[in-house]
Amino acid sequence: MTRPSEPTPEALRNPLLRYGLATRPPFLLVTLIGALIGFATAYADGAPAQPLAAVCALLLGLILHGAVNVLNDYYDALNGTDTINTARVFPFTGGSRFIQNGVLSVSQTALYGWLLLAVAVAGGLVLTTYAGGGLIAIGLPGVLIGWAYSAPPLALNSRGFGEPCVAAGFVLVVAGADFVLRHALSVVPLVAAASFALLVTNVLYINQFPDRDADMKVGKHHWVVRLGTRRAVRGYHLIAGLAYAWLLAAVLSGALPMLVLSALAAAPFSLAAARRLARDAEQPERLAPAIRLTIAAAVLHGALLALAIFLRGHT
């Protein structure tokens, strides 16, 4: 299988295409899935259909995620990890390569990232006039987590807090989407989001294996760096195991309907990815299939979860 080509200025002369791809659109799919879970939990609890509000919430979530991706590229250019990363598995790890390949300058990337963040914040504040001020209690932590994940002085991923940041961020995506339709805070979207958020966290986690050596050299001490590749494999197993155990516990306790057990169909993808990671953890060039399986597990799990919850409210 041929590897995707990295971006070049010649291939991205169209500014709309250039700036659109700088947000790393394929990775935004998990935000779309998270929003659908939130819309489903609100609908299942009796919230009326509100298409315009849902579309606005989804767009703002995608813009915020895009901003986080762009700013992550910016801060990783400043600390140098993407520049020295020769073990990257493009397009999954090592950043977008827009700065390193001269598609965007460091200053252009920073300006674009902050502009996207400003649009997301401004749009969120406007949306609160419709959904209610409680949306700020969900959106503000989401913005802070997205910024602090990469940005100094906090640089939470470099301090070993990247995984909790991602998990919390995607729980907030689900909770925010739910709030926009429900107009009230609820524990239901938090329970529904947890397993999906953990599987998305494993996408971050596995992507750190190819980046480990470069990250270690610039002081990004996430858990794959701290544990070393062989021991860090157990972390992947733990996160995936917690995700599926949470789903089972939520169903057994009555917090989620029996139909959501259909989302366990993603487990074979997680298991296959775990096996490949255990085999190839120290050979980054062979990790692309395991990364794809990890992404597939998160997307399939989230999609089936959203559908099952929606069907509960539709019947």
pLDDT (tens digit, 9 = 90+) per residue, 173-201?
A: 999 999 999 999 999 999 999 999 999 99
DSSP string, 155-199: -GGGGT-HHHHHHHHHHHHHHHHHHHHHSS--SHHHHHHHHHHHH
For residue 310, the model assigns a pLDDT of 95
Across residues 222-242, what is the average pLDDT? 97
Q: Is the pLDDT of residue 157 over 80?
A: yes
Sign of the alpha-carbon dihedral angle for 116, 20, 158, 99: negative
Half-sphere exposure of 298 (CA within 13 A, CB side): 30
Mean pLDDT of the 140-157 span: 96
pLDDT of residue 313: 66
Distance from C-alpha of 285 to C-alpha of 290, rounded to nearest angstrom: 11
Q: What is the per-residue pLDDT across 247-280, written as a single tens digit (0 to 9) for each?
A: 999 999 999 999 999 999 999 999 999 999 999 9
pLDDT of residue 315: 46
pLDDT, tens only, 53-109: 999 999 999 999 999 999 999 999 999 999 999 999 999 999 999 999 999 999 999
Q: Report d(CA 111, CA 62) in Å as an integer.
A: 18
- In tens, the pLDDT along 5-39 reads 999 999 999 999 999 999 999 999 999 999 999 99
pLDDT, the chain, mean: 96
**Residue-level pLDDT at 4:** 80
SS3 for 237-294 is HHHHHHHHHHHHHHHHCCCCCHHHHHHHHHHHHHHHHHHHHHHHCCCHHHCHHHHHHH
Q: What is the arithmetic mean of pLDDT over 289-303?
A: 98
pLDDT-above-70 percentage for the chain: 98
Say how far apart CA 68 and CA 48 lie, in whole Å: 31
**Is the confidence at residue 133, as pLDDT, over 60?**
yes
Supply the pTM of this predicted model: 0.96
The pLDDT of residue 312 is 84
Rounded Cα distance between 192 and 122, Å, is 28
Cα separation, 229 vs 280, in Å, equals 10
* Percentage of residues in the chain having pLDDT higher than 90: 97
Q: Positive or negative, the Cα torsion across 173, 179, 184, 186?
A: negative
Q: Phi and psi of 110, rounded to 5°?
A: -60, -50
Output the six-digit token pair for 230: 């062989």
Residue 183, phi then psi, degrees to nearest 5: 60, 30
Closest CA to 66 of 35, 100, 21, 111: 21
Predicted confidence band of residue 232 (pLDDT cuts 50, 70, 90):
very high
**Cis before residue 268, ω within 30 degrees of 0?**
no
Count CB-CB contacts under 10 A for residue 68.
27
